[in-house]
Amino acid sequence: MGREASRKKGNTAKFANSNGRRRNAAAVVVGGKRKLTTNQKYGSPFVVAKPRAKRQSRVKKGLFAEHADGVSSAVPTQQEIEASALYVKTLSKIPKQASKGVYKNEFGASLSSEKLNVVLVHEWLSDDIIDAAIGYLSLRVGSDRMLCPAWRTNYLLEQAEQQYRKKYNIKNIDEVVKRPGAIGRVLDEYFKREKTFFALNIRKTHYITVVMHTKKKEFQVLDPLFVSAATKFVVEDLIGQISQDIQEANNDCDTEYPDVEEWPIKSYPIPKQTDTNSCGLWVLQCMEHWDGDQMTCPVSQGEKQSEISSKDQENVNLIV
């Protein structure tokens, strides 16, 4: 009786030790075999535990995402450009993949293959592509200019069409929410630097560049085609909305920014485009190379290069 109880007790203790070892052991793989090792909390107190390296989280980027510094360190080769174009064309034909983002920059601009395919099919730049390019240019241009995105200019023109600016009413929650945005635009964009560039879409058919030159106290119109009556009206609407923002900033922040509606609107001669669909490229060229008086480098379109004579450069037309 005593031997049988002792044998059962021994088996129970052995079973407990076996289970305990399994509970307190960590499995590792060595040479393709599982090996049980003692957990650190059950090991010797004199063994210094090795710190576990933290796994770095992966940052999700688009296929054509920019480098950490925002500017690509290498110019793509012709083969890389052709391969990228083929990738965009192929992806845009797949319904489930057409809206997949393939480009993203640190300014939040994101482009899908469907949006990028517009350049390959129609050979013109949409608002989304211009905004992405403006974000890229903002890291390259000098500190004398502020590049306003196309969506911001479109927003100001929409407010002009809807005649949103009415007498301030604190009970109107929409006005309360949007009022700080106007003040921020004045403090952070309009007068922060010498020149503020606007990509202005005339009746959704043609892009021009408008420069708010705070040093010269004038608005400069840079049109690669010609300045029409429609251009004059749209530019005046834009200036009117900028003036409204400035009035709100002066009232709320006790500032004394000038009334820009009194500034003249001048049309400056620039190289002319040789087609009807590259006005978006001209906007980007002006944002990068216009110094307030002239283009700092020649602008070419294909094999044809458009130049301005010195006589035309001195002739600045005043829009009345």
8 A C-beta contact, residue 221 and residue 319: yes
Q: Which residues of 152-162 are buried (b: 16+ CB within 10 A; e: fewer)?
A: bbeebbebbee
Contact between residue 136 and residue 70 where contact means Cβ atoms under 8 Å apart: yes
Report residue 261: phi and psi, to 5°: -65, -20
Residue 116: name the closest of 86, 73, 161 by CA: 86
Q: What is the pLDDT of residue 199?
A: 93
Q: Residues 30-56: pLDDT tens digits? A: 555 665 665 655 555 555 556 666 665
Compute the average pLDDT of residues 145-164.
Answer: 83
DSSP conformational letter for 63: T
Q: E strands along the chain, which residues?
A: 25-30, 33-38, 101-104, 110-112, 145-148, 195-202, 206-213, 218-222, 265-267, 299-301, 304-306, 317-318
- The CA distances from residue 169 to 24, 159, 166, 250, 316, in Å, are 69, 17, 8, 17, 43
How far apart are the two ends of the chain, measured CA to CA in Å?
Answer: 119
In the predicted model, what is the mean pLDDT of residues 172-190? Answer: 68
Tokens representing 63 are: 């296929």
CA quadruple 173, 178, 179, 182: dihedral, nearest 10: -170
pLDDT at 209 (0 to 100):
95
Chain mean position to CA 208? 20
- Among 51-65, 157-171, 271-285, which range has the highest average pLDDT? 271-285
Distance CA 219, CA 196 (A): 10
Instruction: Dump pLDDT digits (tens) for 244-261.
Output: 889 888 888 888 899 999
What pLDDT shows up at residue 67?
A: 46
Mean pLDDT of all residues belonging to the chain: 75
The answer on pLDDT for 303 being more than 50 is no
Q: If you ran DSSP here, which 8-state letter would residue 140 be given?
A: T
Q: What is the mean pLDDT of residues 2-26?
A: 48
**Residue 77 pLDDT level (bands cut at 50, 70, 90):** confident
Domains in the chain (CATH in brackets) are 76-122 (no CATH), 143-318 (3.30.310.130)
Joined tokens for residue 310:
């010195």
Report field, pTM of the whole predicted structure over 0.85? no
CA dist., res. 160 & res. 153, Å (int):
11
Position 314 pLDDT exceeds 60: no
Alpha helices (runs of H) in 31-172, residue ranges in sequence order: 78-92, 113-122, 127-137, 150-162
Buried b or exposed e, range 25-64, using 16+ CB within 10 angstroms? eeeeeeeeeeeeeeeeeeeeeeeeeeeeeeeeeeeeeeeb
Question: Residue 149 pLDDT more than 80?
Answer: yes
Cβ atoms of 190 and 212 closer than 8 Å? yes
113 or 108, greater pLDDT: 113
Tell me the pLDDT band of 101, cut-offs 50, 70 and 90.
Answer: confident
For the segment 93-100, the average pLDDT, to the nearest whole number, is: 87
**Which pLDDT score is estimated for 136?**
85
